[in-house]
């Protein structure tokens, strides 16, 4: 379904932007995408978003920032399939995982990504990478305790694909792309990631770094 007036200001490797792209793909919603170079933000983008943050969704004169709020907007545009859960308990659990991804996993792996991105290996901060690997392992242990797939052939965190997948898949993919591989301690999480990374909604929304 084409949303003719909607524009998503986007950045390929940004996990928050990728979260939104996954939601759009699952809901079969089409919007115009404008990729922003966050190192050289154009003036017309800064006029819309003075803080220069992406993702930013514009629609009929409205400006909607923050990935989770954008996805709530997509739920209004296309309620099915829902990404936010059906029962109050499911909605709470999905929101918890989304918050954990944003506030714990992101900071845990950020330093390893930033020290490697665009730099030769001779300039990498190896201490930052080691610390990120340790923190990532702790995150995997926490996630493993919250993972109860109902269908081993189509593994998801809850009864259906949800915002939890939209939030977590980019984190897993970026961790993998920058050498923070999934631990063999958690084979169920590895199977979950291996399943989703092969699906069209992942392949069509993933940044180039994941395939390099």
Per-residue pLDDT tens for 55-114?
999 998 899 999 999 999 999 999 999 999 999 999 999 999 999 999 999 999 999 999
Give the sign of the dihedral formed by CA 13, CA 36, CA 103, CA 18.
negative
What mean pLDDT is predicted for residues 12-36? 97
pLDDT of residue 151: 84
Q: Which two tokens stand for residue 2?
A: 């084409």
Pairing of strands 62-65, 56-59: antiparallel
Residues contacting residue 53 through CB under 8 Å, at least 6 positions apart: 65
Cα dist from 51 to 56, 99, 101, whole Å: 11, 22, 22
Q: Which residues of 191-206 are buried (b: 16+ CB within 10 A; e: fewer)?
A: ebbebbeebebbeebb
Residue that the structure tokens 């069509």 belong to? 204
**Domains of the chain (ranges plus CATH)?**
2-77 (3.40.30.10), 88-210 (1.20.1050.10)
For residue 5, what pLDDT band results from cuts at 50, 70 and 90?
Answer: confident
Q: What is the mean pLDDT of the chain?
A: 94
At residue 168's C-alpha, the angle toward residues 167 and 171, to 5°, is: 105
What mean pLDDT is predicted for residues 198-203? 97
39 burial type by CB count under 10 A (0-12 exposed, 13-18 middle, 19+ buried): exposed
Which of helix, strand or coil describes residue 48?
Answer: helix
What mean pLDDT is predicted for residues 36-59? 91
Asked if pLDDT for residue 210 goes beyond 90, the answer is no
Closest CA to 70 of 80, 86, 81, 59: 59
At residue 19's C-alpha, the angle toward residues 23 and 137, to 5°, is: 135
pTM summary value: 0.94
């Amino acid at each position: 379904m084409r949303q003719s007036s909607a524009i998503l200001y986007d950045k390929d490797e940004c996990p928050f932007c990728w979260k939104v792209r996954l939601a759009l793909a699952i809901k079969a919603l089409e919007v115009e995408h404008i990729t922003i170079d966050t190192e050289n933000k154009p003036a017309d983008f800064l006029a819309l978003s003075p803080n220069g943050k992406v993702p930013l969704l514009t629609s009929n004169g409205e400006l909607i920032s923050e990935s989770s709020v954008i996805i709530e907007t997509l739920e209004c545009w296309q309620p099915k399939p829902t990404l936010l859960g059906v029962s109050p308990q499911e909605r709470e659990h999905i929101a918890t995982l989304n918050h954990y991804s944003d506030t714990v996993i992101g900071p845990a792996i950020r330093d390893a990504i930033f020290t490697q991105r665009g730099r030769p290996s001779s300039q990498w901060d190896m201490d930052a990478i080691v610390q990120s690997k340790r923190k990532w392992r702790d995150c995997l242990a926490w996630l493993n305790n919250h993972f109860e797939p109902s269908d081993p052939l189509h593994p998801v965190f809850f009864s259906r694909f949800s915002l939890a997948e939209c939030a977590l898949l980019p984190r897993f993919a970026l961790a993998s792309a920058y050498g923070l591989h999934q631990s063999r301690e958690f084979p169920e999480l590895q199977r979950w990631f291996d399943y989703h990374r092969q699906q069209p909604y992942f392949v069509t929304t993933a940044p180039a770094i994941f395939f390099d």
